[in-house]
Amino acid sequence: MTTYVSDVETTDFQREVLDRSHEVPVLVDFWADWCGPCKVLSPIIEKVVGEAGGRIRLAKIDSDRNQQLASEFGIQGIPTVIAFKDGQPVSRFTGALPESQVREFIEALLPSDLDQAVADADRLYEAGDEPGAERLLRGVLEVDSTHHDAAVTLAGLLLDRGDNEEAINILEPVSETQEVKAMLAAARMSSATDLDIGQLEAAVAADPEDESAAFDLARAKGAAGDYEAALNGLLALVEARGERSDDARIAMLDIFEVLGSETPMVGDYRRRLATAIF
C-alpha cells in the first residue's frame, strides 16, 4: 500500500476517517477477501488515490471483520466506497467502476487550487506566520471574492485585530451561511466599541429627537455588553418608524445573532420587534 492508503478497523475509524476527513477527503472502501469485484476495484482506486499525492486518503475496511461499521453505513453490496468530508459522508458508489469513472468520482472531491491555498494559509497561521497566511488569503479573494473559507478565515484575522469595517467588506460578497451571519453580526457590533457612551448620552439628553445619536448610543451599549439597554433603545427607534428605523432593526438582529436564539431575552425582543414592524 502507498502512504495514502491504510487498513482501518472499527477501533480506529474515528481517528483515521472521521477526524482525518476534516483535513483531507477520505474514501472508505468496504471490501471482503472473497469478493471478486473488490479485487478488481482495489488496484484502480489505490492508483488514483496515489496519484493525488496526499490530497485524498483511502481507508480500506474489511466488511466481514467490521460488520458493525458496515451495518451503520448501510452497506448492502461490496465493494462500496463512501467519501467523507468534515466528518460526514458526502457521496458513494457500489461496484467495480472502470478507472475513468473512479477518477471522475475522486476528482470531484479534491480541493481546487484556491481551496489548497486556503489550507496552506491555515498551516502558515498555525505556524505563527500570520502575514504569510494573510497574503495567501488575500490572493485567493482577488481571484474569487466569494470564496467562503478564504473570506471567513481572513475576516477572523481582521476581527482579532479590530479591523471590523474591512472584515465586513470581506464578508458581504459571500453567501450568508450561519458562520458568515454570526461573523457579520459580531463585526457590526464591535465597530461601535470606540463610541463614547457618555458623549452620546449627553447628545440624546440635549436633543431627544436626534435619532442618529440615539442609534449610536444603543449600538455602543450593545458593544459594551449592555444588551437589554441596547435592545430597548433600538426597539424605540423601530417603533418610531423614523429615518434610522431599518438600521435599528438590523442592529437588533445582530444582537440576536450574537446572543443566540436560546437566550430568553432574544425570544422576548424578537416578538416585540415583530409587533413593532407589523
Q: What is the pLDDT of residues 164-211, one digit of tens each?
A: 999 999 999 998 888 899 999 999 999 998 899 999 999 999 999 999
What is the per-residue DSSP string for 43-107?
HHHHHHHHHTTTSSEEEEEETTTTHHHHHHTT--SSSEEEEEETTEEEEEEES---HHHHHHHHH
Catalytic residue among 35, 141, 218, 238: 35
Q: Which of 257, 250, 220 is nearest to 235 (CA)?
A: 250
Domain boundary among 190, 223, 247: 190
Residue 79: its pLDDT value, please? Answer: 97
Domain-terminating residue out of 163, 190, 217: 190
Q: How high is the mean pLDDT of the chain? A: 94
CATH number at residue 256: 1.25.40
Tens digits of residue pLDDT in 100-110: 999 999 999 98
Per annotation, catalytic residue among 8, 24, 28, 38: 38
35 included as an active-site residue: yes
Residue 2: per-residue pLDDT:
61
Tens-digit pLDDT profile for residues 63-96: 999 999 999 999 999 999 999 998 999 999 999 9
- The whole model's pTM is what? 0.64
CATH number (domain holding residue 12): 3.40.30.10
In this prediction, residue 72 carries a pLDDT of 93
Q: What is the pLDDT of residue 111?
A: 81
Query: Do residues 98 and 23 share a domain?
Result: yes
Domain span holding position 156: 113-190
Amino acid present at 180: V
What span, in angstroms and rounded, lies between the C-alpha atoms of 85 and 204?
Answer: 53
Write out the H or E segment, with its range, that includes residue 132: helix 130-143
Number of domains making up the chain:
3
**Claim to verify: residue 21 and residue 52 sit in the same structural domain:** yes
Instruction: Give the pLDDT confidence score for residue 43 in this predicted structure.
Output: 95
Distances (CA, A) of 239 to 43, 92, 161, 226, 252: 69, 53, 35, 20, 13
pLDDT of residue 177: 87
Q: Read off the pLDDT band of 116 (50, 70, 90).
A: confident
Same structural domain, 101 and 117: no
Provide the CATH number for the domain around residue 176.
Answer: 1.25.40.10
Helix (H, G, I), strand (E, B) or coil at 5: strand
Is there a single domain that holds both residue 76 and residue 122? Answer: no
Per-residue pLDDT band for 112 (boundaries 50, 70, 90) equals confident
| Mean per-residue pLDDT, 39-50 | 95
Residue ending a domain, choose from 107, 132, 162: 107
Q: Please state, in angstroms and rounded to a whole number, the distance separating the CA atoms of residues 123 and 59.
A: 24
pLDDT(1) > 70: no
172 alpha carbon, distance to own chain's centre? 15
